[in-house]
Structure 1
Amino acid sequence: MIISCCDSRVHVTALFGAEQGEFFIHRNIAALVPPFQPDGDHHGTSAAVEYAVTALKVSQVIVLGHSSCGGVKGCHEMCLGHAPELEKTESFVGRWMDLLRPGFEQVRDIADENARLEALEKKAVLVSLENLMTFPFVAERVMDGSLALHGLWTDIGQGGLHIYDAKADLFVEA
C-alpha cells in the first residue's frame, strides 16, 4: 500500500517503475494519516488502511511525501496566521491540516522558509507513520513482523527519493 498526496505531479507507479495494479494506492491532501478514532464519522483514509492491512494483507505500507506540497504549505501558512480561511471551523482542508500542527511546532524555529517547508513536508510523513501505529491492527502486524511501515519523500523537481532511517532519525537519499 502507498499513501500518497493527491497532487497530480506525484506519479506513484512511474516513481517505482511499477505497472498499473501493482500497488494499492490511497491519495489525499499531504498524504496524511489521521490517528485511530473509531467514532462513527467518515474516515476515507482510515478505511483504506483497514482494508489494505486486514483484507488485502499487504506486507508494506509506504507513506510518500513530496516537495512543493500545497497542503503542507497551507498548513505552514495557517500555523503562521496567514491563512484565515483555513482557520474557519467549516474548512475541511484546515481541519485536515490540523493533523500536522504538532509537526509545525517542531520545525517552527527553522529560520530559512524553504528549509522549514521541506522539514514540514518530511514531518508530515513522520506524523502519518506515528498515526499508523495507533491503529491496533497495524501495530499488531508490525509487532509480529508481517507488516513494515516506510516513510519516503520525493523531490518532484529534482527527481530524488529519500527514505526515512528511524535509527538515524533522518531522511537519507535512496
Structure 2
Amino acid sequence: MSSSPLKILAISGSLRDSSFNSAALKTAADIAGESAKFTFADLAGIPLYDQDLRDKGVPEAVERLQQQVLEADAILFSTPEYNYSISGVLKNTIDWLSRVDPQPFADKPVAVMSASMSAFGGARAQYDLRRVMIYLNAHFVNKPEVMISFAHKKFDYSGTLNDDDTRQHIGKLVTALGEWQHRLQP
C-alpha cells in the first residue's frame, strides 16, 4: 500500500454532541493512528433539501462537503437508526450531494458502521444507507460489518469506547476500507 496516509472523510448521521456514532468515528481515527488522516464532516449547516433553494444555487455548506468528499480517498459513515432507517440529517445530506456536479460519491470507496442502544446495533439503518448509496455508485466494503449494539454500555460519558471486541472490529473495518481503496484506486 501507499506510504502516504489514507484520507478518510468521516460522516456521522447524528448531530448530537454526545453521539455514539460520532464517538465511533473518533475511535476509528484513534485506532488508525498515522496510517489514515481523518477529516470529520459537519452536517449541521446543511439546509433541508428544496429544489427552489437548489435552483438559486448550491449552499456553501453543501459545496464545502462536496469538496471534502471529492478530496477524500474513502468515506467512513457511522449512522444511528431512526425508525428502522437512516436519520433525516444523513438522508438530507445525501440528497444534496446527489444533486451537485460532479456527484462526489461516484466510484468512491465507502464503509459503514452504526451504533445504537438497541440489540440490533443499527443494522437496518446500515442496509438502508447501502441501498441509497448504490444509486450514487459508491462502492461499499462488505465485511466486516460493525454494528455496535447496546452502545450506551460500551461508551463512557466522555465518548470513549471501553469494549475491546468492538475496538477490534472497528480496526478491522478501517483496515478493510484502506485495502478496498487500494484495490479500487491503485
Same fold (TM over 0.5): no
- Give TM-score scaled by structure 2 length: 0.37
Give the TM-score normalised by structure 1: 0.39
